Structure 1
């Protein structure tokens, strides 16, 4: 195929137009919504805004419009934009620093679940083919001096015209941009560069020295007054992608919690908010002494957390993982990776293991422990989009289910059915965890909460990871529940009736750090009783 030779001065404008109009469908949908919905009266605003972005992109691209440089840069942009546009349109996500962190910290198996033939087709159509055309396109360049002059003119002219348009449109654009900050996370490919820059700044700023926390931690008087040398065990279950509204314990129409509904002494908290909308944020946050408002990755990584404080108090802490790691919070405690498939194990397949695998060997671990135990079980839970892979076949109660990661091929009912089956399996897993604790015969407790929720098509959003400031309730409201054995509640003077009476009050991940210390009667200067959701229900409090 022979292409006509074009002058280099036209390349930035053609590329800018292609980027703005082809790869930004999600942005334009958000922009139209932010400006009051589609109206013919706003047509000039839409056209003017598109021209404004084309001019800005044109000016930026003119900076690299030189022989041997422009084509590689543009090809990289096209490939990157095709990937970004696909995931934004497919799952309704936006690209910010947290999303980049999710990509960087997601393991190969989780990333593989996002792969689909539609992704291949989209990248081929919008990335590879345009890149090939750009590579083959014959371009007429002048001398270096001439190109510098031409490109300088393009930059200056484009930015001057863009500034003029911005002044004309400012009255309309300013409120939309100010009130809809998510738009800057939707403009491709600038969102990727902005988000990557923010992520790297946070990453490189991470302190290398970990400050100690709660080194004064000691067991309180309830331990000494117990009059028994019998060990205790507390299991903290960190759920994955479980949203509160799909738990029948919280009023959901489907019976997704048939077993937990029969568990006596279970306290279900119905109004709990997460610290973040992604594992990489919520897990470090919930195990830190920071509130959501004060939380930053830098602060959390620069000092010890809840598990360290428990160790300082003399408890043995173990983290069992069936997910993609603990995001740094278990770096100084015993870690057991249970996510790798085990040949011949009925609870594992070739790709992963079901959450029940986390309970294997647990009775023996509790029996043989020489110290009081705190065990964290990190679930695979309801991680999507391959929901149907998260549970054994016998838990396929609701259907028909979506059995592809190309969610656009499924109805919302099919997606929700597959997701609800994951909650049904979590119900079974938690019930079995409680049975293990009951059978151990020692004073025991179980605290369960999910790291974040999930969007299942509401407002055309899927999965999770939306910036918290405008994230939907589906991604923020999480389940939380507490089970105490008779021996545990008696030993630590916890009034279960009082806890049940407080179950409808609003709580959040902010309460977990201090509530765990309070529940286990650990005294330390970093403990804040105002954030302890159990404090009012301790008889001696």
Structure 2
């Protein structure tokens, strides 16, 4: 009786997102569909009952149910509140996020939900007196319960197959929404990848060298790669957005903006390793990226001094073998920080001096905090609070969608300022005898209420365009264009072509004229626009 009651509670109380999607997938709430809804409910209860019966032993069943109620209530809150789903990438985000990002997701509504659906049922379970039959009779009862439950599930699936099969096939997200099975399969997927990471890192591009455009005695070069965070392309006025979110970049001479770019993943923990790995999205896995050197290593092999400056939660393994600076920790009295975090402009601190004093050609990666939610209003200084009214709570249900978007747009406005200032610094460095370039792209996009989804991290196969469509832009100094024979008009003519994160690895090698066997000119955005081509 305990496992049956617990199964019914889990299916009913912890699966609002699942049932909402299931009703939509089967044609919506209609009286004629009532047998399907009741049958699916009974089938899931019996399936859960069969699984829980396998662990229905003294000193085992209570801790298992309490753990399920507590974890399931938290998962249910995030799925209901933000429209996220639970998969291996989401579990990876949980393990790899920092304390500040995690704190922004906490709210009183989460406490209420976990208390109501997790803590109170757990207390009831803990205090519930249980009687167990003798061992032999108990095993027979358990075996009978499992067999009868599974036979009943099979019979219901056969009866409802005509309706259920198309719904499940066309709505693959259902398996990511069913709690607690989604948590188990997601955790298993994450741990399988984590434990499979080899200790030996395979070399990549050790043959890398400078091409013919690197003339002896030529000026030094500095290339800045800016990795944005949670910026979606449709909120950039450079891409046609109605609000003027890019007033400074739109006035930057020589800026080339690519309008049609897709990300490798929908979360930082996937996209950042992917974009620097050299693997195309269809061939990428976290195991492969972790077991091999990446773009920054190839650049080191080619003789560049490589530096990663971070204002986020780390580089996800991509910068393990290059210089690293963490600029995300606030210091007292720093005008570019508040009590909790620092603004992205801090990434530019001392950059002119570093460029001036460098002895080698530099590649600098700036990893932004960008537009990371749900606390969008914290991502920019007060001077950039242009659009409003602004949502100033992480409990997004308390805010209108317009105020959420306004806060997000202000964060894009601040990114516009930081990128424009980066270009100004590089232009000034050119006047001091350094050839400079900047490449910017975001790691993934963001949902802002479309289809009742918020934040990011949806499985790629079912992710909306808002989470996959990212901004990308390039700026080249006159000296950089001349040295590497790059045609700006040609690049501008390619701005509407379809590109993705797959192009970044090879485009960086191409624009810096790095010769290596791992370079693929077909994926190089600038290859067709070098003057000899």
Question: Is TM more than 0.5 here?
Answer: yes
Partner of 2:318 in structure 1? 329
Partner of 1:4 in structure 2? none
Deviation at 1:32, TM superposition (A): 1.2
Contact 1:340 1:352 in 2 (8 A): yes
Partner of 2:354 in structure 1? 365
Partner of 1:475 in structure 2? 467
Task: Write the distance in 2 (CA, Å) between the matches of 1:292 and 1:157.
Answer: 44
Q: Secondary structure at the match of 2:214?
A: helix
Q: Secondary structure at the match of 2:502?
A: helix
Partner of 1:22 in structure 2? 13
Structure 1's unaligned 5+ residue stretches are 1-9
Partner of 1:208 in structure 2? 199
Contact 1:55 1:158 in 2 (8 A): yes
- Could you give the per-residue CA deviations for residues 458-512 of structure 1, whole angstroms, max 9, x where no partner exists? 0000000000011000000000000011111111111111110110000000000
Task: Write the distance in 2 (CA, Å) between the matches of 1:478 and 1:500.
Answer: 18
Aligned-residue CA RMSD (Å):
0.9
Structure 2's unaligned 5+ residue stretches are none
- Could you give the per-residue CA deviations for residues 501-536 of structure 1, whole angstroms, max 9, x where no partner exists? 110000000000000000000010110000001111
Question: Normalising to structure 2: TM-score of the pair?
Answer: 0.98
Deviation at 1:177, TM superposition (A): 1.3
Partner of 1:122 in structure 2? 113
Task: Write the distance in 2 (CA, Å) between the matches of 1:36 and 1:491.
Answer: 61
Task: Write the distance in 2 (CA, Å) between the matches of 1:532 and 1:142.
Answer: 69
Task: Write the distance in 2 (CA, Å) between the matches of 1:36 and 1:368.
Answer: 66
Listed as ranges, the matches of 1:142-221 within 5 Å are 142-221=133-212
- Could you give the per-residue CA deviations for residues 369-389 of structure 1, whole angstroms, max 9, x where no partner exists? 000000000000000000000
**Is the aligned partner of 1:435 residue 2:427?**
no
Partner of 1:3 in structure 2? none
Deviation at 1:154, TM superposition (A): 1.2
Which structure 1 residue ranges, 4+ long, deviate > 3 Å from structure 2?
none
Task: Write the distance in 2 (CA, Å) between the matches of 1:53 and 1:502.
Answer: 52
Match of 1:51 among 23, 42, 53: 42
Match of 2:55 among 49, 58, 64: 64
**Is the aligned partner of 1:344 residue 2:333?**
yes
Deviation at 1:228, TM superposition (A): 4.3
Task: Write the distance in 2 (CA, Å) between the matches of 1:512 and 1:36.
Answer: 42
**Is the aligned partner of 1:77 residue 2:45?**
no
Partner of 2:98 in structure 1? 107
**Is the aligned partner of 1:250 residue 2:239?**
yes
Partner of 1:267 in structure 2? 256
Partner of 1:7 in structure 2? none
Task: Write the distance in 2 (CA, Å) between the matches of 1:140 and 1:527.
Answer: 68
Partner of 2:219 in structure 1? 230
Q: Secondary structure at the match of 1:28?
A: helix
**Is the aligned partner of 1:301 residue 2:290?**
yes
Task: Write the distance in 2 (CA, Å) between the matches of 1:220 and 1:33.
Answer: 57
- Could you give the per-residue CA deviations for residues 418-443 of structure 1, whole angstroms, max 9, x where no partner exists? 00000000000000111111111211
Partner of 1:384 in structure 2? 373
Contact 1:66 1:147 in 2 (8 A): no
Question: Normalising to structure 1: TM-score of the pair?
Answer: 0.97
Partner of 2:483 in structure 1? 491
Deviation at 1:63, TM superposition (A): 1.4
Deviation at 1:289, TM superposition (A): 1.1
Match of 1:508 among 494, 497, 500: 500
Q: Secondary structure at the match of 1:503?
A: coil
Deviation at 1:96, TM superposition (A): 0.5
Task: Write the distance in 2 (CA, Å) between the matches of 1:97 and 1:68.
Answer: 30
Q: Secondary structure at the match of 1:181?
A: coil
Match of 2:79 among 84, 88, 91: 88
Q: Secondary structure at the match of 1:443?
A: strand
Match of 2:529 among 534, 537, 540: 537
Aligned length: 530
Contact 1:320 1:337 in 2 (8 A): yes
Task: Write the distance in 1 (CA, Å) between the matches of 2:102 and 2:115.
Answer: 19
Q: Secondary structure at the match of 1:223?
A: coil
200-209 vs 32-41, which moves further: 32-41
Task: Write the distance in 1 (CA, Å) between the matches of 2:520 and 2:133.
Answer: 70
Match of 1:399 among 388, 391, 396: 388
